[in-house]
Structure 1
Amino acid sequence: MRVPLSIGIGKRTLDLLGNATGAVIENPFDRVLYWLIEPGAAAEWDMGLLPSVQVWGATAYIEVPPVARTTGPGVHWRVPLGYGRYLTDATALFAALKIATSAALGPREEASR
């Protein structure tokens, strides 16, 4: 999950998730945060609600920093890996992303299915 920092969505999402977040990678060059979720967990998400967020699949490549790199410069763990802190629950992440996106870009309407 690639989330921009530049319009405040990434930081707000982190704040909303609090201790419920899994590990998060920050790429300060691209000004994005990456959340790791179960493969396929976002398949049913209405991405129209999250226009600035990108779901990357199994064929995507991201730079993963060494476990001990928790500060910049460069790509680092914004929220480090830890016992029980690997993947973020996709349902909680989606809820936080909707709130953060709405705060940054205004309310979005869900697409009818």
Structure 2
Amino acid sequence: MTTAAIYTQAEMMRALDESVGAARVPAADMADLAEVIRAFLAVEARSGARVRLGGGLFDVVITSSVVEARCVVTVIDEVQGGCGPVIEDPENGWLYWLVPPGSCARWAWHGHAVCLGAPHTITLPPLSRGVPPGPYWLRPSASDRLVPVGPLRDALARFGPGPAPHAALAARLGIAV
């Protein structure tokens, strides 16, 4: 056995917080790193975590979760050799496709999907949740991939999953989509 200490996630975060100290100010580009780390540790530790979209993480495309949307998952499975991360929200009847950050800025209106980025947030289910109740990972998050926007747009146009989430999201978020 090595002399390195074995920390729990909570102990690790406390040690990191204490090592910075009150007089230290993080670099401007690292200001929210601790927040991001805490969020992902919470997801890994079997509790959901709310994370901001955009930045260096991901944006999200929201669609209906009907049978036609499952066909889109199958197409992306083929395109990617296994679809990037997709969350199913059975309560709302939606799929959340995690796409590369910045996708929202380039997303043109689409009749079957809405793309959201900063300043919006999403609650990620625990990594271990692969079935309901509540939102779950239809396709688990993998560190090496997000869902590619081009093939996703094309497949959504081809299969047309509805109803579109535009009106429901506009009402919930108070924005035009």
Indicate whether the TM-score tops 0.5.
Answer: yes
Letter in 2 for 1:25: I
Count how many residue pairs are aligned between Structure 1 and Structure 2.
100
Q: 2:16 is matched with which residue?
A: none
Please say if residues 76 and 147 of structure 2, whose CA atoms lie closer than 8 Å, have aligned partners that are also in contact: no
| Aligned residue among 142, 150, 168 for 1:91 | 150
1:35 aligns with 2:103: no
Q: 1:108 is matched with which residue?
A: none
Letter in 1 for 2:101: P
RMSD between aligned residues: 2.2
Over alpha carbons, which structure has the higher Rg?
2
Following superposition of structure 1 onto structure 2, how do residues 2-81 of structure 1 map, counting pairs within 5 Å? 2-6=62-66, 8-19=67-78, 20=80, 21-47=83-109, 50-81=110-141
- Identify, as 1 or 2, the structure richer in strand: 2
Q: In 2, Cα distance between the equivalents of 1:13 and 1:43? A: 22
Cα shift readout 1:46-91 (whole Å, capped 9, x = no counterpart): 32xx22311111111222101111111111100012352x411111
TM-score (norm 2): 0.50
Please say if residues 104 and 116 of structure 2, whose CA atoms lie closer than 8 Å, have aligned partners that are also in contact: no
Q: In 2, Cα distance between the equivalents of 1:36 and 1:2? A: 9
Give 1:93 shift.
1.2
Give 1:98 shift.
1.5
- Identify, as 1 or 2, the structure richer in helix: 2
The answer for unaligned runs of 5 or more in structure 1 is 106-113
Please say if residues 127 and 141 of structure 2, whose CA atoms lie closer than 8 Å, have aligned partners that are also in contact: yes
Please say if residues 63 and 95 of structure 2, whose CA atoms lie closer than 8 Å, have aligned partners that are also in contact: yes
Judged with a 3 Å threshold, the aligned counterparts in structure 2 of structure 1 residues 46 and 78 are, in CA distance, closer, same or farther, namely same
